[in-house]
Amino acid sequence: MAGYVIRRLLWGVALLFLVCALTFVLFDVLPSGEPARLRAGRTASPRAVAHVRHELGLDKPIYTQFYDYLRGVVLHFDLGYSFYSHASVAGLIADRLPATISLAAGATVIWLLAGVAIGVVSAVRRRTWLDHAAMGGALLFISAPEFWLGLVALFLFAQDIGRFPLLPGAGSYTGLLADPGKWLGSLVLPWLVLAAGFAAVYARLLRGSLLEVLGEDHIRTARAKGLRERRVILRHGLRGAIMPVITVLGLDIGTLLGGALLVEVVFDIPGVGRLNYDAITQSDFPIVQGTVLLAALFIVVANIVVDISYAYLDPRVRLR
């Protein structure tokens, strides 16, 4: 088991190195507009550009630049400075991260609870009206775009513009440490909107996977032992059926921590997604580069966690 974990971790490090190299090539080697010129401003003289170029180290050989860049990222978590505000990218991201984590964590809890519950009930009550209703509803939420769902939620429930003003609307985000009550209130709608689509996907996924596992021979054995049906389904069925859900969960959480762009925009939540979005529209490469690296880090870490929990859940995986 220890060997397995170490192997996974080494792969993760290798993967992150590759992502670093790729973002470096993408943002520092390939851009047609020269970074130094962008940084120096439109009207800079060739001398000023050369100066900036020297200051940024852009006149050094590529491999030296990459080495310096990698060293900065790994040793000092130095992601460079914004072209516009000259603020440190790492600092900017650190400011935005709590909102993104709040959004992703709460939504994950909601969609997991809802998705698993609906999936199990649908599988157990297969081909009943309950199953049909749940799967029909799931299809609806999978098809509905997040921004549309967000707007509908705001028009219905937001305190400022809603028909039934129950919850704080867009732009009400407050930090957890500043005011826990307001933090909670401001996130309920974004959580629900973000979770809806995921819950629907997970419910369908789990239903299918559980139906497959419930058809396996060892489920018949469990029943032949005289176990209660609840135990047969939860302890014998769900344990095996949850595997594909965990795979997808790792990817989804990783992706969301890199920023839930649409929901952040609709609810005006100052998260990493918004930061990235604004940086893209302004061609602020260091920020884009930083957020891409961060997203990659989250996805790689989430996948390692998935792999390890796989080995925990399925002893046969440890052999591979």
Partner 1 sequence: MSAAVAPLLEVEDLSVAFPLPGRGPAGRLEAVRGVSFTLRPGQALGVVGESGSGKSVTALTAMGLTRRDGAQLAGRIRLAGRDLLELDDRQMRSLRGNELAMVFQDPLAALNPLQRVGWQLVEALRAHAAPARRDAPARRDAPGRRDARARRDVLTRRDALTRRDARARAIELLDRVGIPEPGRRIDAYPHELSGGMRQRVMIAMAIANEPRLLICDEPTSALDVTVQAQILTLLGELQRELGMALLLITHDLGVVAELADDVAVMRAGRIVEDGPTREIFDAPREEYTRALLRAVPRLDDPLPDRASPTPRLDPGAPGDLPPAGPGQPLLEVRALAKGFAPRGILARRRHEPVRAVDGVGFALAPGEALGLVGETGCGKSTTARLVMRLLDADAGEIRFAGQDVTALRGRSLAALRRGAQMVFQDPYSSLNPRRTVGACVAEPLVVHDLQHDRAARRRRVGELLETVGLAAADAGRYPYELSGGQRQRVALARALAPGPALLVADEPVSALDVSIQAQILALLQRLRRDLGLALLFISHDLAVVRQVCDRVAVMQAGRIVELAPREQLYERPQHPYTRALLAAVPGAGRDRRTIGA
81: β partners: 88
For residue 226, give both structure tokens: 């005289």
Inter-residue contact 122 to 203 (CB < 8 Å): yes
CB of 3 to partner 1, least distance (A): 6
CB of 209 to partner 1, least distance (A): 14
Q: Closest Cα to residue 237, out of 128, 92, 72, 126?
A: 126
Nearer to partner 1, 71 or 223 (CB): 223
Binding site for partner 1 (CB under 8 A): 3, 7, 10-11, 216-218, 220-229, 236, 239-240, 313-316, 319-320
Angle at which helices 272-281 and 285-313 cross, to 10°: 140
Nearer to partner 1, 101 or 227 (CB): 227
Nearer to partner 1, 6 or 94 (CB): 6
Helix (H/G/I), strand (E/B), else coil: 81: strand
Inter-residue contact 190 to 111 (CB < 8 Å): no
Nearer to partner 1, 284 or 307 (CB): 307
167: β partners: 158
CB of 313 to partner 1, least distance (A): 7
CB of 252 to partner 1, least distance (A): 23
Nearer to partner 1, 126 or 182 (CB): 126
Spatial distance between the Cα atoms of 220 and 222, rounded to a whole number of angstroms: 5
